[in-house]
Amino acid sequence: MKQLSYHAMEETQVWNTSGYVRLSHEDGDKEESNSVTGQKDLIRDFLRHHPELHECSMKVDDGYTGSNFDRPAFQEMMADVKAGKINCIVVKDLSRFGRNYLDAGEYIEKIFPFLGVRFIAINDNYDSLHRNVESDELVIPFKNLINEAYCRDTSIKIRSQLEIKRRRGDFIGSFAVFGYLKDPENKNRLVIDEYAAGIVRDIFNWKLDGVSAEDIGDRLNEMGIPTPMDYKKSLGMRFTTVFRIKEESTWSAGMVLRILKNPVYIGTLEQGRVTTPSYKVQRVIQKPREEWAVVENAHEPIIDRFDFETVQKILALDTRTSPGGEKVEIFSGLLFCGECGGSLLRKTVPSGRKKYIYYICSTHKNNKTCYSYNLRDVVLNEIVLESLKRHIQEVIDLSDLLDMTETARLKQAGMQKLQARLKKKQEEIERYQTLLRSLYESLTDGIIDRQEYEDLKKTYARRRAEAEEQAETVQRKMEQDWEDNLLGRSWMEQFKKHANITELDRRIVVSLIERILVYHDRRVEIVYRFQDEFQRQMELLLQARAALPEKEAM
């Protein structure tokens, strides 16, 4: 039987061919020739001029890096190769195939020849069936090395660009968080999605009212509210998630907690929380919090900062709902023994048709090392309510006093104190400046020698620089303190809006009270939120009024 020559086999064999197209965000391929359409057109035009190449498939990896081969379409193509469906692969050029020098070389030099696969890179004029062993052994590895270097340099540039964007408050995520949309005019800025934002507000309000995360999820499911994932899909987004996806998506406590803990809802962006070792290794590493890119006021908030901080306080408390109950008890997580610091336990004692609720020290219950005492819940409720009424009135009185004393006058009094401190530093600066000027005269008069002159010059210059820096620090600190402590009175509004309080609820208690201490003699001490701010306001008010003329201070 006559055997065909190798050349004749090339002419007569039909190759089952798959075109392979790759486009990566990292490559920065914005010209049309590197687009998916451009690559497809080039490959199909090549196939038309080579009738022995029969197109069986066109595999596309859009948005996948060339630094590794963990790409879905590429893996599908390799599965077809191993199944015997494909024995020829055509790409636009080697960079589209891959930018990892070692891995690309492994496929071209070892894997494809072993599997009997013909590999063609059109623009690199490479065809494994017609390869020039001597030249290709130098050229192909060299091109792969260049492609890898390009990938490395591009990765470094992109990381740097993304970090710059993060630090200036640009949103760089693929999808906006639930409650926001990407601004159509600026994809790096978030704008409020009113429908989803309304759901977010409900979630926060329910939590402030004492509803557990699990029960909030149940409420949302009963109301038929779509989950964040389903909502994004309903908007036509090609949404992906790192969380496990069930066939039927429902709200869970975990989803609710992720929303409640996310500072994006007060306008703060926390980005750059994870990284990878290099462009080749895609293993995700958590970065220390101090390395995150955190930018406040990056976009319009959905949730008030005070409410957000109150929710974080609630989440930090060790609280549970009563059996069969939906809401957390009013004082849960806030009650402590004033003697030992242990938490108080809530006990329910049935008596006939009634139930009596009282609190006891957990330390005494566990090991009897603290006092034995109890306090009825109705008594505690009355004590806290009356104390809160008094404190609210104190805050209102302080606010009224601040209003009565003109802000401009208070500011002027504060500036006088600032100027006095600055004047002292300026005099110190001038003193060292005078000493520096007199040094040269002392040198020329022979009072000091050249070495003493140089030493004293360095000393005076250093001390003058230190005094200048201290003066700047004093001014910045005083101005900031004045603005924060005297003019920053927004916290007062949280108390003033409850001026007509008649009964306690969970939201009021956790919003205004830090902790409640109960002593063995049933004495109750209440630590209010913003007590430090209250004291600072009082001190600043007294200082400022003392600095005013006597008639104006009255």
Residues 342 and 488 in one domain: yes
Q: Which domain holds residue 207?
A: 180-306
Say how many domains are in the chain: 3
For 197: left if phi > 0, alpha if psi spans -120 to 50, otherwise beta; the answer is alpha
Whole-angstrom Cα distance, residue 147 to residue 280? 13
- How confident is residue 549, by pLDDT bands cut at 50, 70 and 90? low
pTM of the shown model: 0.57
Residues 63 and 110 in one domain: yes
Please report, for the domain that includes residue 151, its CATH number. Answer: 3.40.50.1390
Whole-angstrom Cα distance, residue 233 to residue 343? 46
Whole-angstrom Cα distance, residue 306 to residue 297? 15
| Residue 260, domain member (yes or no) | yes
- How confident is residue 323, by pLDDT bands cut at 50, 70 and 90? low
Please report, for the domain that includes residue 193, its CATH number. Answer: 3.90.1750
CA 181 to centroid of chain Cα atoms: 17
pLDDT in tens, 8-43: 445 558 899 999 999 876 544 445 446 888 899 999
Residues 184 and 143 in one domain: no
Residue for token pair 């109950």: 325
What is the per-residue pLDDT for 6? 37
| Residue 441, domain member (yes or no) | no
Residues 127 and 37 in one domain: yes
Whole-angstrom Cα distance, residue 507 to residue 527? 16
Residues near 296 by Cβ (< 8 Å), separated by ≥ 6? 267, 268
Residues 272 and 345 in one domain: no
Residues 140 and 53 in one domain: yes
pLDDT in tens, 272-306: 877 666 555 557 778 888 888 888 889 999 999 98
490 forms beta bridges with none
Pairing of strands 285-286, 274-275: antiparallel
Whole-angstrom Cα distance, residue 99 to residue 145? 8
Q: Which of 122, 155, 188 is the last residue of a domain?
A: 155
The token pair at 414 is 């504060």
Residue 397 has pLDDT above 80, yes or no: yes
Residues 237 and 352 in one domain: no
Q: Which of 140, 155, 170 is the last residue of a domain?
A: 155
Residues 302 and 344 in one domain: no
Residues 65 and 197 in one domain: no
DSSP 361: E
| Residue 428, domain member (yes or no) | no
What is the per-residue pLDDT for 181? 94
| Residue 518, domain member (yes or no) | yes
| Residue 129, domain member (yes or no) | yes
Q: Which of 86, 121, 155 is the last residue of a domain?
A: 155
Mean pLDDT throughout 526-544? 83
| Residue 478, domain member (yes or no) | yes
- The more confidently predicted of residues 289 and 262 is 262
Residues 340 and 214 in one domain: no
- How confident is residue 336, by pLDDT bands cut at 50, 70 and 90? very high
Residues 253 and 349 in one domain: no
| Residue 411, domain member (yes or no) | yes
| Residue 15, domain member (yes or no) | yes
Residues 237 and 351 in one domain: no
